Structure 1
Amino acid sequence: MGTADDVQHFLRTGEHDTHCRAWPGDRLERERRAHEELRRALVEEVQRRTVTRPSDERLRGLDIVALTRRKVAPMVRGLFPALEQGAVISLLEKSVVFLTPTNISHVLRQSPWLSTAWDLANLYLLSVGGELLGEQAPLLLGLSEGTTCYVSLSYFDETFPFADYLVHEAAHVFHNCKRRTVGLPETRRREWLLDIDYRKRETFAYACEAYSRILETGGSRQARMALADDYVASAAPCDERVSLSEVVEFVREAAAARNGWKRILARCAPPTSAGTRASVTEATAARRHGPEDLGGPPSPTR
């Protein structure tokens, strides 16, 4: 058995000794026992903090697959060639997991990483009004791991018109999943579903999120540009991982373009390939639409 201090430290911070030295046995046995005990403690603590919370009924009768398909299909069609769209949509439509009182314990036990389990525990506690596990707990509304997108039930209460963290988390799957995972051909230069600069992964997700909402309500270029202006005026800076000016710049460029998804992808491509593509798209935008006054903050953080 690990020490009580080890368990409490994990519950407060999500951190643990990677060598699991407080547990007996060889390294593999120590890791197995530690992970089992820490997960059990995490589940029990989450249950203790939500023991009086009623089950949420917002998912009753909801077709999550259909909802996800409707939300992600425009993004997939804008980013992938027609022959690949079916495989990518099929992957994403089964990727979303809403964290609920019914499934939270199972999710915490099955999450591959203890640190992720701790983040998911806090994501869930935040959604049901429970006390977070520690002062440094992230204020998350969604989290992606591999090809799974965990989403808070707060999704159904969101009032910010440019927020859609289901789309935000789905956008992260593109750089988490290899092409061969969904049966698409893979080459040395095309290993992942999309080639996105590591430093701009959050920027890409935020831009896709806002642009998806603009497309949902803006039926013309003029309407999309007006919505993009509203986004710039109403969004609040709250994520240190992104360049605020870049996000709104990319969203406004996307709103003006025929295929805004491709514009966002080009601006978030790795340096080795972004230069040529970005310069071409920027020059095209300038010829078609003229210069734009770009600036402002993006939408709320996950």
Structure 2
Amino acid sequence: MPTSAAIEHYLRTGDHDPYFFDWSGDVIERERRACQDLKRALVDEVSRRAAGRRPSAEMPAIDLTSFTRVKVEPMVRGLFPKVEQDVMLRLLERSVVFLTPERVEAILLGCTWLHTAWDLANLYLGSLGADLLAEDAPRLVGLSSETTCFVSLDYFTETGRFDDFIVHEAAHVFHNCKRITVGLRETRRREWLLEIEFRKRETFAYGCEAFSRVVELCPKIKDRPAMVEEYAQTFMPDDERVDLDELVDILREAARARNGWKHILARCAPRRERRAGHPFNLGLEPLDRGRPARQAAR
């Protein structure tokens, strides 16, 4: 199909020919030209749909580094040994990027993966109340790519009692990034920051998100089980990737423990024989498809 049709197909679906045969040149030149053309077309379409709209919230005047550190510090302290905690905090405190009107163009053009750019475009359009690029496009409020956590400005207007998109996306960084990348010692059994079973990575992220709120709301361990029951009755995620019964059982166990974070990790740890199936080992794009917006009314 002609290049214009390839661009239109990408805008409607987020998909593309991995070999970019609609563009001229050798394989490297085709990829360079195609990525440039597709991302430029994506930016133009987002600008068209966003015209005259503003996000549901303005970016507040905060020190984002300090704000993020406060959010992720309990999780880091609970999951990592003391000798590794400062490294992880330095990584995560600068990992959060909010999609604002002033930054969205540069963010989309700078994406490594074309489908990630498409998902981020929909995340941004959703924060404006604009039409998404496809009727079946996921309505996201957060998405992780490698060590970057992209978050919608809806964070400042629609966060429910047990919601924290920053913690959710930061939890995904742990299975997106190798230990050696941030200067931590790697072993045969510890290649990634944390070893998370592939099919349980969303369970792990939702568990960390909910438990961070339980800990914040209930500093005393004795009060946490009741808070988990409130979560189970009223705030469960609407996400088909998660076994809700398993998630609640994990949180109940964590709520009774001195260090509940370790229990969440243990329940989401991989079976060793499946370790080679990690998406990065296959050379594929990270498969985190983002934190969806809550569908049910709060």
TM-score, normalisation: structure 2: 0.89
- Counterpart in the other structure of 2:235: 235
Contact 1:96 1:166 in 2 (8 A): yes
- Whichever residue aligns with residue 85 of structure 2, its letter is Q
Quick one: distance in 1 between partners of 2:21 and 2:60?
Answer: 45
Provide Cα deviations, 1:226-258, integer angstroms capped at 9, x if missing partner: 111100000245211111111111111111111
Partner of 1:250: 250
C-alpha distance 198-161 of structure 1, shift in aligned 2 (>3 A): same
Structure 1 residues 159, 97: CA separation in 2 closer, same or farther (over 3 Å shift)? closer
The answer on whether the counterparts of 1:56 and 1:100 sit within 8 Å (CA) in structure 2 is no
- Specify whether residues 159 and 59 from structure 1 end up closer, same or farther in structure 2 by C-alpha distance, changes over 3 A only: closer
Tell me if structure 2 keeps the 8 A contact 1:2–1:34: no
Offset of 1:60 from its aligned partner?
A: 3.9
In the alignment, what sits opposite 2:123? 123
Matched residue type, 1:127: S
Residue 273 of structure 1: how far off its partner (Å): 9.5
Q: Summarize the alignment of residues 101-120 of structure 1 with structure 2, pairs less than 5 Å apart.
A: 101-120=101-120
User: Structure 2, unaligned stretches of length 5 or more?
Assistant: 275-292
CA distance in 2, matches of 1:120, 1:248: 30
Kept in 1: contact 2:172–2:201 (CA 8 A)? yes
Contact 2:198–2:270 (8 Å) recurs in 1:
yes
CA contact (8 A) 2:57 2:154 kept: no
Distance in 2 between residues matched to 1:91 and 1:79, nearest whole Å: 15
Q: What is the deviation of 1:185?
A: 1.2
**Which amino acid counterpart does residue 116 of structure 1 have in structure 2?**
T
Corresponding residue of 1:207:
207
Equivalent position amino acid for 2:220 in 1: S
Q: State the alpha-carbon separation in 2 of the partners of residues 187 and 6 from structure 1.
A: 44
1:18 aligns with 2:18: yes
| Alignment-derived partner of residue 79 in structure 1 | 79
Aligned to 1:138: 138
Secondary structure of the 1:141 match is: strand
Structure 2 counterparts to residues 189-200 of structure 1, below 5 A: 189-200=189-200
Query: 2:89 is matched with which residue?
Result: 89
Q: How many residues align?
A: 277
The letter of the residue matching 1:225 is P
Matched letter for residue 200 of structure 1: K
Match of 1:161? 161
Work out which of the two has the higher radius of gyration on C-alpha atoms and give 1 or 2.
1
For residue 86 of structure 2, give the secondary structure of its aligned residue in structure 1. Answer: helix
Amino acid aligned to 1:230? E
Provide the residue aligned with 2:220 in structure 1.
220
How big is the shift at 1:56?
A: 7.2
CA gap of 1:16–1:56, structure 2 versus 1, over 3 A, is same
Question: Structure 1's 233 and 60: CA in aligned 2 closer, same or farther, altered over 3 A?
Answer: closer
Q: Percent identity?
A: 57
Give yes or no for contact 2:55–2:128 (8 Å, CA) kept in 1: no
2:179, 2:191 within 8 Å by CA — same for their partners in 1? yes
CA distance in 2 between partners of 1:273 and 1:82 (Å): 29
Contact 1:151 1:166 in 2 (8 A): yes
Distance in 2 of aligned mates of 1:129 and 1:54: 9
Structure 1 position 300, deviation (Å): 3.8
